[in-house]
Amino acid sequence: MLRENKWKLLVTTLIALIPMLVGVILWDRLPDTVATHFNVSNEPDGWSSKWFAVFGLPGMLAGLHVFCLAITSADPKHKNIGKKPIGILFWIIPCVSLVACTLTYAISLGVRVNIGCVITLLLGVLFVVLGNQLPRARLNYTFGVRLPWTLNDEQNWNRTSRFAGWCLALGGVVLIATSFWANPWIVFAVVALIAAAPIVYSYVDYVRGKKE
């Protein structure tokens, strides 16, 4: 997979590192200590050095980007994931790097940003996108609802993927609609339901199949 998409890998990795260049340009304007973590009340509760904010954070995200794609590429069934879902996987972490570092710089420069609203909105968009692509992925070991009974039954995998896709898409719509409230409990509830509902559905489908 990586050999076939080596240029896409290079481009997306460089995009994940763009915040380094932006940080160098803004270097003299950034404080020596930068807020890099925020609590549910949109208040900073974690700080890092300017060096880490400019070079460490984008570098770690770029490394995570390459690592995740390498793991996906090592999946013996990665071709079952599909071109569009794989294309999306190439862009998730670079986009996270751009948004996270941009927000970090903006807040450090005194710009008022509602972190919760932005994160909730982007998470909702991501869920909608993944929800539309998940049902297209055939059985594989890295992208989808990977459970013992889904990995051993292609029909269970397909049905669970369709159900999980609907859960992701609907959950994403809820997050987008409620993003301006930036209520962390709504986010936690939506994420918990999206995670739990496909597991329950898949197990019930598995038990029903054994009885039949």
* pLDDT at res. 44: 83
- Whether 35 has a pLDDT exceeding 70, the answer reads yes
Burial of 94 by CB count in 10 Å (0-12 exposed, 13-18 middle, 19+ buried)?
A: buried
Q: Which helix (H) or strand (E) holds 45?
A: strand 44-49
Q: What is the pTM of this model?
A: 0.88
* pLDDT at res. 39: 80
- Whether 42 has a pLDDT exceeding 90, the answer reads no
* Mean per-residue pLDDT, 143-154: 93
Q: Are 161 and 137 in contact (CB under 8 A)?
A: yes
Instruction: Give the residue extent of every domain in the chain.
Output: 1-113, 115-212
Percentage with pLDDT > 70 across the chain: 99
Which range, of 36-45, 110-119, 122-131, 139-148, averages the lowest pLDDT? 36-45
- Whether 2 has a pLDDT exceeding 80, the answer reads no
Q: Are 71 and 59 in contact (CB under 8 A)?
A: no
- Give the DSSP letter of residue 5: T
Q: Are 17 and 62 in contact (CB under 8 A)?
A: yes
| Rounded Cα gap, residues 20 and 56, in angstroms | 9
* pLDDT at res. 18: 98
* pLDDT at res. 181: 85
Closest CA to 31 of 135, 112, 104: 104
* pLDDT at res. 212: 63
| Rounded Cα gap, residues 4 and 199, in angstroms | 33
Q: Are 75 and 48 in contact (CB under 8 A)?
A: no
